[in-house]
Amino acid sequence: MGKNNLLRKNGLIILFLSLLISGCATSISNYDQHAYIQTTSLKVDALNLMDSAKDEYNSHIIAVQELQTNLQKAYEYEKNRPKNEITIKLWDKLLDKNGHLLGGFIERWKAGTKMSDTFISNCKEQVGEAFDTISGLESQKIKKTDLSK
């Protein structure tokens, strides 16, 4: 793993931990199976689409727009869940168009840059880890129990 990848990975871990610690003062949302499934599904879609970045962006514009729409739907779902600020901050980081994760990757591709296989592979690793952080947080949330049983 290169120095830049290690720094980015460590930065993501530090961000997650700081968000988790700062969130300890407030409660966190309960586990939501729909959110978990949505996140893991979008991870697969995003990573598969990223492989196409060795081609011209315009030849994949419909697939990119579809992914971005689905990402926006997931983000809106998460944003409207109570006590979900930590998850929203993680999504913000993932989708930031000026960042180094999925949002920035798509913007760079859109600007006309064809990506090399090595660059795509490195970016996919980072984006995959970001999705894993989000889904991992979700899977660690407390599951509501059905008290009516």
Tens digit of each residue's pLDDT (9 = 90 or more) over 82-137: 999 999 999 999 999 999 999 999 999 999 878 999 999 999 999 999 999 999 99
Closest Cα partner for 15 from 145, 120, 129? 129
Per-residue pLDDT tens for 37-88? 999 999 999 999 999 999 999 999 999 999 999 999 999 999 999 999 999 9
Q: Is the dihedral of CA 48, 101, 117, 9 positive or negative?
A: negative
Give the CA angle between residues 111, 4, 110 to the nearest 5°: 10
